Structure 1
Amino acid sequence: MPQQVTMGAMLQCSFGLAPSSLVVLPVNRVMAEGPPAANIMDHQPMVNIMPFGMCSSPANPTVAAATAAALGVLTPMPCIPATLTPWVTGAPTVLLANMPSLDNVSKCMCNWGGVVTIVNPATVKTMIP
């Protein structure tokens, strides 16, 4: 059964080299087991989703430039998330601030081809039907 995601949840990008944590601002005024609960609109780069260390996506312009400079050898560069679309699908039957609640099976797409997944939702008891 899916779990509610809150501030401090651990995230991983398929092209990132390190995990990151989700930052949820308390604007929705809903708490779950202490920290603020997230909805699908908590996807803003450098606000909600922090960098994943180094990026190895060839679609990332900085990685492509560094790889070209290294004569085709894939050269990871610092990650700057480009998550411009909301998380999908969320929990459509549970609304937080009139948006679907974020559950631990949701995914967020990065413009550079990475898929951001939730490794640890930071909740233990709050399940979403």
Structure 2
Amino acid sequence: MMLALLQVLAMGLFSPEYSYVVRGATLKCSQGTDPGILNLPWCHGVYSLDKPVMNVADHVPGVNIGCFGFCKAAGGDVCVPQTFSKWTDGKHDVLIDNEHALLSRSQLVCNRSGIITIEKDGQD
């Protein structure tokens, strides 16, 4: 019993911390050859260290997400993501413009068979 309690406590103490994602975060697509940058043309009015905080609805290609070099899944074409759903795993108890805040653990599915992840949250 005591060992099980210690294991549960240790898991809680050593679980990874996730941070809020701001404009300028570095992204990676599993099918792209180059990193990308997360952009926010219009601020939601919430800042962290003077940088605008993103939400899970900030996934629009060409607006929030640029190209990732060349796409391995598309035979070497330019890697322009096709994202039709929101980022996963936002902060459920923090809303920014009525959407969950974007966290560094969040992922985005590209319909060209890539998974987009957040490499750096943008908070220097």
TM-score bracket relative to the smaller structure: 0.7 to 0.9
Which one scores higher on RCO, CA 8 angstroms, separation ≥ 6?
1
1:36 is aligned, of 52, 56, 65, to 52
Matched, 1:105 2:105: yes
Q: CA deviation at 1:35?
A: 1.6
Range that drifts further, 75-84 or 106-115:
75-84
Match of 2:48, SS? coil
TM-score, structure 2 normalization: 0.83
Q: Which amino acid aligns with 2:42?
A: P
Identity across matched positions, percent: 33
Deviations 1:59-109 (A, max 9, x none): xxxx3xxxxxxxxxxx41111110111000211011111110000000000
Aligned residues: 108
Q: Which runs of 5+ in 1 are unaligned?
A: 58-62, 64-74, 125-129
Q: Which has the larger radius of gyration?
A: 2
1:22 is aligned, of 38, 44, 48, to 38
The answer as to whether partners of 1:26 and 1:36 remain within 8 angstroms in 2 is: no
Matched, 1:10 2:26: yes
TM-score, structure 1 normalization: 0.80
Q: CA RMSD in A?
A: 1.1
